[in-house]
């Protein structure tokens, strides 16, 4: 994991601020929690629904690509089988058809991959914003003063609230009628 110096400096400042508040008497008790955002992204029902929707959205195009690949494979086998009995012009035309079909398959695959990545990134962005909101709502409702997420190198189970936030996300998902 590549952690930048400015990012580590921010984490250190937050931790030092929390300790300073605890020791200076500014606050009687500071409630700190740690959330594993990657776990939430993997296990939240919202993530599962978003990925299933993407799969449903792109399934027809995936079937089209598979059909074109099958068409290319069948044409290739037929050309190989009939190559010995083909005339020069027929052979050139068959090879051209194969090249054209291969280009089309490659183009379809590239477009599919680019469009899928774009849509996946859009969905992940929405999901991340939703996750941040869920963590903030949970932290406020549970009375947390500080919740730390990514960049944590170690957190004891006593401050890890990931499972609690995940349960809240599941409850919110269920109450939303999904």
pLDDT at 9 over 80: no
Report d(CA 86, CA 77) in Å as an integer.
Answer: 14
CA atoms lying within 13 Å on the CB side of residue 127? 22
What's the mean per-residue pLDDT of the chain? 86
> What confidence tens digit (pLDDT) does each residue in 68-122 have?
999 999 999 998 998 888 889 998 999 999 999 999 999 999 999 999 999 999 9
Is 26 within the bounds of a domain?
no
Is 71 within the bounds of a domain?
yes
Domain CATH code at residue 71: 3.30.910.20
Show the domain range for 94: 31-175
Is 7 within the bounds of a domain?
no
Report d(CA 45, CA 135) in Å as an integer.
Answer: 15
Q: How many domains does the chain contain in total?
A: 1
Is 113 within the bounds of a domain?
yes
The sign one gets for the Cα dihedral 34, 38, 41, 45 is negative
Residue-by-residue DSSP string for 90-119: HHHHHHHHHHHHHHHHHHHHHHHHHHHHHH
Report d(CA 103, CA 97) in Å as an integer.
Answer: 10
How high is the pLDDT of residue 29?
81
Report d(CA 113, CA 79) in Å as an integer.
Answer: 29
Is 91 within the bounds of a domain?
yes
Is 2 within the bounds of a domain?
no
Structure tokens, 114 = 């680019």
Is 1 within the bounds of a domain?
no
- Confidence band for 1, pLDDT divided at 50, 70 and 90: very low
Angle (CA) 84 88 90, round 5°: 85
Is 117 within the bounds of a domain?
yes
Angle (CA) 68 60 101, round 5°: 15
How high is the pLDDT of residue 67?
97
Report d(CA 135, CA 35) in Å as an integer.
Answer: 8
How high is the pLDDT of residue 31?
87
Q: What is the mean pLDDT of residues 36-45?
A: 90
Q: What is the mean pLDDT of residues 47-70?
A: 96
């Amino acid at each position: 994991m590549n952690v930048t110096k400015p990012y580590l400096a921010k984490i250190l400042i937050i931790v030092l601020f929390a300790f300073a508040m605890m020791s200076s008497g500014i606050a009687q008790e500071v409630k700190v929690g740690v959330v594993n955002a990657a776990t939430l992204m993997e296990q939240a029902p919202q993530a599962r629904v978003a990925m299933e929707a993407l799969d449903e959205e792109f399934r027809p195009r995936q079937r089209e690509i598979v059909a074109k690949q099958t068409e290319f494979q069948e044409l290739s086998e037929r050309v190989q089988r009939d190559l010995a009995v083909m005339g020069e012009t027929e052979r050139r035309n068959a090879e051209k058809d194969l090249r054209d079909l291969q280009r089309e398959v490659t183009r379809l695959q590239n477009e599919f991959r680019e469009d899928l990545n774009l849509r996946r990134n859009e969905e992940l962005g929405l999901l991340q914003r939703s996750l941040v909101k869920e963590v903030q709502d949970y932290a406020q409702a549970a009375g947390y003063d500080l919740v730390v997420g990514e960049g944590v190198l170690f957190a004891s189970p006593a401050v890890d609230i990931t499972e609690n936030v995940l349960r809240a996300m599941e409850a919110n998902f269920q109450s939303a009628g999904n």
